[in-house]
Structure 1
Amino acid sequence: MAVTNETDNTPLPGTVFTPRQVRLLKIAVIVMGLLLVGGFAFVLAAIVYQASQIAKESTASAPALGGVETELAIPPDATVTSLALDGDRLALHLSTPNGQELLVIDLKSGKVAARVRLNPQ
């Protein structure tokens, strides 16, 4: 009686793969699937972590009233025609009896950064 330790290299019926190749392919598919699921979970955890850090920073750096509170002196007969916000700057378009005027206000400090009087020509 002869016992052989050699693997059977005959393909499975209907395929070109041997049982060893099928077993290795199953292991590879399982490992890659676990890596895919683990990577996806890591990306989701990183997004949640970053979002929570942004929320903590914004609540820690915001003043109790939600920003700078200030008063802006404009001429008594002036009306605000329009305004535009860009980052931490606010632009006001004023209509005054003396003409049109633009004010650019720094929202962090509450001070007027620029005042432009528009002269028609």
Structure 2
Amino acid sequence: MGVSKWYLASVSTPEKKPLHISELQWDIKRRSVTIGNLIVTFTATEFRLLYPLRSGAPVTYADLAWYAYNYTVDEKVRVMMDKHIDRIRGKLRGSGVYIYCVLNYGYLLLPEAQ
């Protein structure tokens, strides 16, 4: 009796352990995040936007605008914020975490959907 193809595939392909936001290591002085063996460094503004998301809970646009820019949120601030979030997403690409938009509310940092 031969070995099933399913068994061979499952043995030869190492399973990726699901990532948890609590596993990220934050370095405030270097403005970086360590995810496994990957170190991602951010600009000061990018880090001020990303750091409040570390809990894995949604953060409002208004709160992020205040943390990052020390301004109240308006259309111009939202455009700036969205551009920075896009840059952060680019830096995090392939790391296993992603910044999700909570429509009409804010942003949320969670493991990337598989």
Tell me the TM-score normalized by structure 2: 0.25
Tell me which structure has the larger Cα radius of gyration. Answer: 1
Q: Which has the higher strand share?
A: 1
Tell me the TM-score normalized by structure 1: 0.24
